[in-house]
Amino acid sequence: MPADMHIHSVLGNPGTEWFLHYEKLAQRFKELGVTMIRDGGDTEGLCTRYRSSFEDRGIRYLSPVSGICREGRYGRCFGRGVRTERETVDMIRELKREGADFIKVFVTGFMKTGSYGCTCTDPPCFSNQELRTIVEEAGEAGMVVMAHVNTPEEILSAVDAGVLSVEHGYGTTDECIAAMAENGTFWVPTVTPIAALSGESDPMKRYLREQLDAVRRGAAAGVRIVPGSDSAARMVPHAVSTLREYEFLGQCGLTAEQLDANAALLFERTLSMVK
């Protein structure tokens, strides 16, 4: 029962009407046997508007409607910008009204392909205290928090703030692994997108090697590793990349049964908060 806990359904539309795009997309996932999906959201909330395309095919589906990003910073493709704490709190409540199952927050950017050890956003979009406020306010609204986050310092900040899941987590160290294990934080390492880009630069090759090694160490330490392909990211086609992510995580010693169980637990932990 494959699951994909990190997709971008809004991407990959060749220009067709949105209803048709979602119908075709959901059918592709169904044909590959995917039973659970967690979306990454989009600025207009299309993922929520067309969630029935998945649910009508028996696919369990979760969506944040839209992510939350710092105004003018990374995340504008999938998130709505906020400038102040008051705007952030109001945004969480608005997303809940629009049907969000959880909150997604962009803490950092993505890795630069031409250099190693940095992301597109420096300093981070949200401080530890701001993340704590987001987790607290989301909890008051009956939701958990998914954090798009990279680099050791910001992974530790997000875990300390109480996010339920770390998305990507490129740059994960042993200290990050210990913190995720101790806090029961789920990790969705999205190996597939960096594997897809690994032929383009030496830094991306290094990111891939180190991510696979970190996943191995994380699994051995008891971190709940969850499959998520980041599907429809660059060179990451929908649906088939779900199976590829399972293959990468399998190389790290994780069985399909373990990955399915972790995805199901993440799904249920998210639903258990919904009021």
Question: Per residue in 229-266, pLDDT tens?
Answer: 999 988 999 999 999 999 999 999 999 999 999 999 99
pLDDT band at 120 (very low <50, low <70, confident <90, very high): low
Three-state secondary structure along 119-177?
Answer: ECCCCCCCCHHHHHHHHHHHHHCCCCEEEEECCHHHHHHHHHHCCCEEEECCCCCHHHH
Q: What angle do CA 150, 266, 43 make, to 5 degrees?
A: 60
pLDDT band at 275 (very low <50, low <70, confident <90, very high): low
Identify the three-state secondary structure at position 94. Answer: helix
Print the domain residue range for 36.
3-273
Q: Please check whether residue 259 is in contact with residue 225, taking contact to mean a CB–CB distance below 8 angstroms.
A: yes
What proportion of the chain, given as a percentage, has pLDDT over 70?
97
Residue 77 has pLDDT above 90, yes or no: no
Residue 2 has pLDDT above 70, yes or no: yes
Residue 121 has pLDDT above 70, yes or no: no
pLDDT band at 114 (very low <50, low <70, confident <90, very high): confident
Q: Cβ neighbours of residue 189 under 8 Å, at least 6 residues apart?
A: 168, 169, 172, 211, 214, 215, 218, 225, 228, 249
Report the amino acid identity of residue 138. Answer: A
Predicted confidence at residue 22, as pLDDT, reads: 98
Predicted confidence at residue 221, as pLDDT, reads: 98
Predicted confidence at residue 13, as pLDDT, reads: 94
**How many domains does the chain fold into?**
1
Look up the CATH number of the domain holding residue 50.
3.20.20.140
Question: Per residue in 209-234, pLDDT tens?
Answer: 999 999 999 999 999 999 999 999 88
